Structure formats: C-alpha cells, structure tokens
Structure 1
Amino acid sequence: MKFAKLIYNPKAGEGADPTQNIITILKKAGYECSLSSTKEEGWEKLDAKGTDLIIVAGGDGTVRKVAFEFLDKRLPIGLLPLGTANNIAKTLELEEDPEDIITQWDLKRIKRFDVGRIYNLKDQKFFIEGLGFGVFPRLMKEMQKITTRKDASTDKRIKTALEILHDIVLDYEARKCTIQIDDAEHSGNYLMAEVMNTRSIGPNLNLVPFSDPGDGQFEVVLIAESQREQFANYILSKIMGKEEPAFFSILKAKKLKIYWEGVHLHVDDEYIKFDKATEIKIELQEDAVHFLTTRV
C-alpha cells in the first residue's frame, strides 16, 4: 500500500473540515496517510524514504508553502484545490471534487512544473505562480483592508476582488518599466508587468490561457497605459460572468532583469513593499516540482 503525507490548510475551503472525507477516499484508493496542518508546528517533518506522495489540500498559498519546503525531496505532489482562486490547480486542469481527482491519480503520470528563482529580493527566493508590479500588488494591498465574511462563497470573493481591481485600473498611474531579456531591452509606461508561470493570477485573470508551466519559459505580460480601457473592459466582462479572451503583449523568457519605478510588488500571493525602486533578477529553474495530473 502506498503512503502519503496529507498536508492541509484548516482555513481553506467552504463549510465543514473536509480532511476526514479525504482520508476515507484515500484509503479506498489504496493510500495510507498521515495528516498535518500547516498551522501546527512540525508539519514539515517528513520521512522521504517512507513516503510515496505528498498531498496538499488547500489553496495556492498552501501549495507554494509546501512545494518550496520539499523542493529538494523530488516527491510528487497531489493537489486537492480548496482555496479561492486555485490558479495552480486550474493551470493543471484539475477538477474541483477531491474524489474525482484522487481516483484518477497514477504515480507515474506527472506534470513537470518550473519555478522562478529570484535574486536581489530579501526573504523571497522562489515563485511558482508569478511575480509582478502595478495594479495587481495594489489590489493585494487593498484586499488586506477588507473584512470578508467567513461564509462568503468563492464566487463572491472572486467578484469582490474583480470589482476592486476594475476601479484600480481606471485610476492607476502607469509607471515606467524596463525589462532586459537576453540582449533585448523593453521599456515603456505600464499598468502591469507580470512574470507568469501559471495561466492565471489573482482573481482568475486568464492572461496566458494556453501557457505550459513546464515548457522552460516564463510568459512576461505587459499591459500598457494605452490599453487601460481594454483591460478594464476585460475585467468588467469577468465581473459579469463572461470569459473574454485577453490580448496583451507577451514576451517569452528564461531569465530576465526587471526594473519598475515604484515600490510595490507581489511574489505569488504575498504583497511586498520596497524602501526604494529595485531591479529584480529572475531565472527559470526547470523541472523543479512534480504534480500528479489527471490528464493522460
């Protein structure tokens, strides 16, 4: 029988604690497992030799926390999305129902996932979703001020974030950004500069819907000041429940340097404020994380 370490975020998801139901499903699927909460000390302790699989039940933040903790273990990760945005799970094209996911797992069927290696940024060494400047870090800052009801649905949380982002886009002062990719330099005034590894970020902004997180390249999305109305309309369509295609400038990169004339940025789901504008160096680390996939 295969052994799995199940790590969960007790604050993720809606309704009652799902972990006992997940354990029952795992046992039916042939897994013995241990259970650890990310809110408890010692959750990161792992017998790598005696573990076949790490299972993460939570949102994007929990996935990031676990993936980077065990980056050197090279164990496959089974993801059960219980968060709000679940951008990593959406990139992996996973279903939302844990039983549907678990019953399709095969330890030989994995999806290789690249990560970003960050330089010149204290306390932040990697990202799995993206790193960026502009309206998205501003959204994260504003969302910190809002008290959301604990019983608010996922759809309500996403819609609230989109509504705030729409207002930000209309008023945000574009900033100069310079990006160096190999020997090419790209410069202009932008509302957003985002180095993406997943297909979507934040409140499910599907800015690179066909990207492959294991292809050895980042997608660098640039939304210029001249595209303000286009971007606002894209967000408005999402608020109304419509998924319109996004057409913004996209550059491919394995390594880059990015300088933004501002002090706010984000690394995955963490908002960061600099003391002063700083150039960030990023390199792609290929084949860093292995996720179980339900796709053949």
Structure 2
Amino acid sequence: MKNANLLHNPTAGDNDFSEKQLVKQIEAEGFNCEYSSVKEEGWDQFKTETDFLIIAGGDGTVRRVAKALMARKRLDKQYPLALLPHGTANNIATALQISGKPKEIAKRWHEVHLQPFDIGKVYGLKDDRFFLEGFGYGVFPRLMKVMEKIEDEIGDTVEEKLKAALAVLYDVVLNYDAKECRVEADGVSYSGKYLMVEVMNIRSIGPNLVLAPAADPGDGELEIVMIPETQRKKLETYILALINGEDKEFDFTTVRAKNITLRWEGKDMHIDDERIKLENPAEVRIEIQPNMLQFLITKRTDQ
C-alpha cells in the first residue's frame, strides 16, 4: 500500500504534528501522501486510488473519520485506517497498542496486520447511533458535564488535563447518588443501584480509566461494566491510585454480550466523548456489529 490520504486535525498539537512535518515524515518512508484537514469541507471525499487513510489526532478525530466511513454505501471502497495518535487520552490507539513518534509509527506501516474493529450500534434514541469506545450512564457523563463548565480553567498540557479530569471524577464519585438500572445481556437480567454502567468496546474510556482490561475491540462482543453503590469505596481507591500515578489494576463486575438492553432511571448518558441529556429515562438497545473498521497495527492484539 503506497497511496495514503492524511486526515489531520490541525488543532491537535504543533511542531512535529504540523501539516508540513507530518507529510514530510510520511513521504520519507516512501508513501505518496495527500493531505486533508478534517476542519475543512470535502475532507471525506476519498479517492479510489487511495490505499489507506491516516488519522492524525485524538479519539474524537478517529470517531469523526469512522462516522464518515459508516455513511458510505456498502459497495463503495472501504479503507484501512492508520493512526498517528495526538489527543489527550488516545484510548483507541492504546487499545490497538499504537504509540510513539509519527516517524517511528510510519516506519511500521511497511509490515502490518489488519486488525478488525467492531462498533456498538445504539437503538432507542431519536437517531440510531454508534460508538467505538463506550456507551454508559452515571458518573462518567456527570464528569463530562462538569468538565464542560471548567474547560477554560484547566491546564494546556495532556498531563494537566488528565489530572484535572481525574480530580473532578473523584469528587463526582464521592457525591453521586446511585441510580436504578436494569440490564439484559444476551437474555440474562441484572438490576440494582449503580454508580455507573458502561458498555465498552475497548479497555479504557475518558481520562484513561481502565474499566475492562480484557476488552478486545475485534472479538465480536461488548463488555458491560457495572459498578454498584456498594463498590463506591473501591472506585474511589482506583481513581486515587491513578491520580497518584500508581500502576494498579482494579477488577469490577463485568459481563460480555452481543445484544444488550438497558434502562437507567436517570437522564444523562454518553456515547464516546459526547454527553446526551434525555427529557425522560428511555430504554436503549445495543448490538455489536463486528469488523466494521480495520486498523493497521504492527502486532496482533490477541497475541
């Protein structure tokens, strides 16, 4: 594969993540590189001769490209995706074990595997939606709500933003009122009062919260993480460990399923990094749609 289309979020970083530097580093590896800014109209008009798409940005940019690909017709050409992660959390790149400087990552594209990547399809809202990372209720959409209000008050660096998000999340967990939720996972029912319920396609969400360490985005199943009110202290301890930079893993109640129905007795939810406010509690159905995307990786995630 020689012909690449670089899809760049120009607001994600500078210096080695500028248009000029990225194109130079990619072409130095022998690839023909066409540049498109995802901030400009027409960026999603992909050419037939393009062999693969390169996404330079964070998780939000990956989702934006995925949305454009999902809108294409079944018979249209489908494109493998390569990542140059440069966001705040980079949860998708981490799930795919993609890290390093752009020039280091580009070198690996000569010998790659194609990693299938599932999506979660969401039914029951005004419009059918999908997620790459996760869908959920409880403390996480509450965190998003608070962070929207203080966005201008937090630092500029990745480290400062992640630390601020974790500090806010800790406060949210201390004060959040658990809510009733009914979950049906492949015909098996669960119910109770929960601080959060997350349906996850990858191992982490938000400020690198690893809630489903065994999650595989290409295995055809989703992981449902349910943290009841009785595990509030455990969740607090986990967040404190992250704030203090401690490398510890915490296991929470998790079940795997392909078809899921949820009813949360609250009005806030999220789909990836988007917070959604409902007028009234609603029943939502989620189903896995396998192998909807393919990513270039240098090592199979199941090895």
The alignment's TM-score, normalised by the length of structure 1, stands at 0.95
Q: 1:14 to 1:170 in 2, by over 3 A?
A: farther
The one-letter amino acid of 2:85's match is: P
1:67 paired with 2:66, answer yes
1:156-167 equivalent positions in 2, closer than 5 A = 156-167=160-171
Distance 1:178 1:151 in 2: 38
Shift of 1:100: 1.4
Contact 2:115–2:294, Cα closer than 8 Å, also in 1: yes
Is the partner of 1:244 in helix, strand or coil?
coil
Q: 1:184 to 1:210 in 2, by over 3 A?
A: closer
Deviations 1:216-240 (A, max 9, x none): 1101000010000110110011001
Distance 1:15 1:179 in 2: 47
Distance 2:216 2:167 in 1: 29
Alignment partner, residue 6 of structure 2? 6
Deviating beyond 2 angstroms after TM superposition, the runs of 4 or more aligned structure 1 residues are 13-19, 71-74, 147-151
1:154 paired with 2:158, answer yes
Is the partner of 2:210 in helix, strand or coil?
coil
Distance 2:87 2:282 in 1: 32
1:102-113 equivalent positions in 2, closer than 5 A = 102-106=106-110, 109-113=113-117
1:16-165 equivalent positions in 2, closer than 5 A = 17-47=17-47, 49-71=48-70, 72=72, 73-106=77-110, 109-148=113-152, 152-165=156-169
The one-letter amino acid of 1:42's match is: G
Contact 1:214–1:287, Cα closer than 8 Å, also in 2: yes
The one-letter amino acid of 1:293's match is: I
**Number of aligned positions between the proteins:** 295
Alignment partner, residue 175 of structure 2? 171
Contact 1:76–1:107, Cα closer than 8 Å, also in 2: no
Structure 2: tracts of 5 or more residues without a match: none
Q: Which moved more, 1:15-24 or 1:230-239?
A: 15-24
Contact 2:267–2:277, Cα closer than 8 Å, also in 1: yes
The one-letter amino acid of 1:61's match is: G
Deviations 1:247-290 (A, max 9, x none): 10001010110110001000000010001000111010001110
The alignment's TM-score, normalised by the length of structure 2, stands at 0.93
The one-letter amino acid of 2:210's match is: N
Distance 1:38 1:166 in 2: 34
Is the partner of 1:230 in helix, strand or coil?
helix
Alignment partner, residue 215 of structure 1? 219
Distance 2:154 2:114 in 1: 35
Deviations 1:182-206 (A, max 9, x none): 2211001000000000110000001
Is the partner of 2:205 in helix, strand or coil?
coil
Distance 1:274 1:33 in 2: 43
Is the partner of 1:291 in helix, strand or coil?
strand
Contact 2:223–2:255, Cα closer than 8 Å, also in 1: yes
Contact 2:227–2:253, Cα closer than 8 Å, also in 1: yes
Q: 1:17 to 1:113 in 2, by over 3 A?
A: closer
Percentage identity across paired residues of the two chains: 45
Deviations 1:93-137 (A, max 9, x none): 111311111101147511111001111122452110010000000
Alignment partner, residue 247 of structure 1? 251
Which of 259, 263, 274 is equivalent to 1:259?
A: 263
Contact 1:116–1:284, Cα closer than 8 Å, also in 2: yes
Alignment partner, residue 180 of structure 1? 184
Distance 1:133 1:273 in 2: 11
Is the partner of 2:45 in helix, strand or coil?
coil
The one-letter amino acid of 1:40's match is: E
Structure 1: tracts of 5 or more residues without a match: none
1:270 paired with 2:236, answer no
Is the partner of 2:109 in helix, strand or coil?
coil
The one-letter amino acid of 2:102's match is: P
Shift of 1:243: 2.3
Q: Which moved more, 1:251-260 or 1:35-44?
A: 35-44
